[in-house]
Amino acid sequence: MTQSERNPVPLSIPGVKNGPLGGVVLYFDRLESTNSWLKHHPDYLEQEGLVIFSACQTKGRGRQGRVWQGGDPGNLFTSIVIHPKTEARLIPSFSLLIGLAVREALLECGLKGLSLKWPNDVLVKDRKICGILCESRFEREKTPVIIAGIGLNLVGSTQSFTPEISGKVTTLQQEINEVVKPKEMLFSILGHLNRIILDFQQGVSRKYFDLWEKNSSSIGRRILFHEIGEKINGKILGLNEYGHLRVMTGEGKLMEIHGGEIEFL
Ligand code: BTN
């Protein structure tokens, strides 16, 4: 455990005082992973809206057990403790909401060519700039919790990534030729997310699903998705009333999925 891990600095979030995000960020100089830190400190999961921020990350985790590359200072690594106050079927769609909040913050930087890929990648002209890892705790007699981890590539060029992914990713600096500080970006995302979650928990859901559909690169695309070890091909139709993905399979069967991975064909 480093000194910074023992003594994180609490910061207040400008503009976020009331709402589902609690207004406090625990700031670390260095962590293995902001999501893992919260998993190893379950008491903090009781603090609705708590935000963990690390200036760099040494063992960032991605979806499906992948590694999240680009742990250097200057990029954004954060995890937010969300207590979803909606019916259970709507809970997976929190990851869509986080993608929308990141998109709003990036639009404010003047970034063009943004799109969302189901469930929660943020792309710039089909290259990934942001990944979101939502991990949930659902236990009897405990408040349901989502640990929403956001990794956003802010600085450097794609050459700093391994050759396997360097053609598939991008950074904000590479796109707009400007450096935006991680804390500034964090505060902007949190401001948007606070408002969106507040609305969503008060029953405004279709508006956000429509916005997601409108800004998604996924609608109408042919995909392969992984279903219990099987790969099924289909075409994305849109989101249903719970934010689950509606897919028409090659055999003409309508499926509604809320997890897993899709691959564009
Ligand atoms: C993905 O595979 O696209 C999700 C990547 C999520 C990365 C972020 S970085 C901050 C938080 N901590 C982690 O270990 N992962 C998430």
> Residue 44 Cα, ligand 1 centroid: separation in angstroms?
19
How far is it, in rounded angstroms, from Cα 103 to Cα 151?
Answer: 13
* pLDDT tier for residue 158 given thresholds of 50, 70 and 90: confident
Show the domains of the chain with their CATH numbers: 3-214 (3.30.930.10), 222-264 (2.30.30.100)
Is 21 or 235 the better-scoring residue by pLDDT? 235
Q: What pLDDT is stored for residue 75 in this prediction?
A: 97
The pick from 31, 32, 35 for probing ligand 1's pocket by mutation, whose C-beta has the most ligand atoms within 8 angstroms, reads 35
Name 256's Cβ contacts closer than 8 Å, sequence gap at least 6. Answer: 240, 244, 245, 246, 247
Q: Within 10 Å of residue 125's Cβ, how many Cβ atoms?
A: 12
> Residue 57 Cα, ligand 1 centroid: separation in angstroms?
10
Q: What pLDDT is stored for residue 172 in this prediction?
A: 97
> Residue 106 Cα, ligand 1 centroid: separation in angstroms?
18
pLDDT winner (highest mean) among 136-150, 152-166, 187-201: 187-201
How far is it, in rounded angstroms, from Cα 261 to Cα 253?
Answer: 19
**Atom number of ligand 1 nearest to Cα 33:** 14
Grouping H, G, I as helix, E, B as strand and the rest as coil, residue 67 is strand
> Residue 68 Cα, ligand 1 centroid: separation in angstroms?
6
> Residue 95 Cα, ligand 1 centroid: separation in angstroms?
12
Count of CA atoms in the C-beta half-sphere (13 A) of 122 = 28
Take atom 3 of ligand 1 and give the residue whose Cα is closest: 131
* pLDDT tier for residue 264 given thresholds of 50, 70 and 90: confident
Q: Pull the structure tokens for residue 264.
A: 């564009």
- Ligand 1 site residues, Cβ closer than 6 angstroms: 33-36, 60-63, 66, 68, 77-79, 121, 131-133, 149-151
How far is it, in rounded angstroms, from Cα 106 to Cα 127?
Answer: 14
Grouping H, G, I as helix, E, B as strand and the rest as coil, residue 206 is helix
Sheet holding 254-257, edge to edge: 254-257, 245-249, 230-239, 222-227, 262-264
Q: At what angle do helices 182-201 and 94-108 cross, to 10 degrees?
A: 130
Residue 226 is inside which H or E element, if any?
A: strand 222-227
The pick from 133, 154, 168 for probing ligand 1's pocket by mutation, whose C-beta has the most ligand atoms within 8 angstroms, reads 133
pLDDT at position 13 over 80: no
Residue 119: cis peptide before it, omega within 30 degrees of 0? yes
Residue position matching structure tokens 């406090």: 24
* pLDDT tier for residue 48 given thresholds of 50, 70 and 90: very high
Of all residues in the chain, the percent with pLDDT exceeding 70 is 97
> Residue 147 Cα, ligand 1 centroid: separation in angstroms?
11
Note the pLDDT tens digit of each residue in 211-252.
Answer: 999 999 889 999 998 877 788 899 999 999 999 999 999 999
Q: Where are the alpha helices (DSSP H) in the chain?
A: 3-6, 34-40, 94-108, 163-166, 172-176, 182-201, 206-214
**Atom number of ligand 1 nearest to Cα 54:** 10
Entry pTM: 0.93
Question: Measured between alpha carbons, how far apart are the two ends of the chain, in Å?
Answer: 44
pLDDT at position 178 over 80: yes
Q: Pull the structure tokens for residue 17.
A: 């005082």
Nearest Cα residue to 212 out of 45, 97, 55, 73: 97
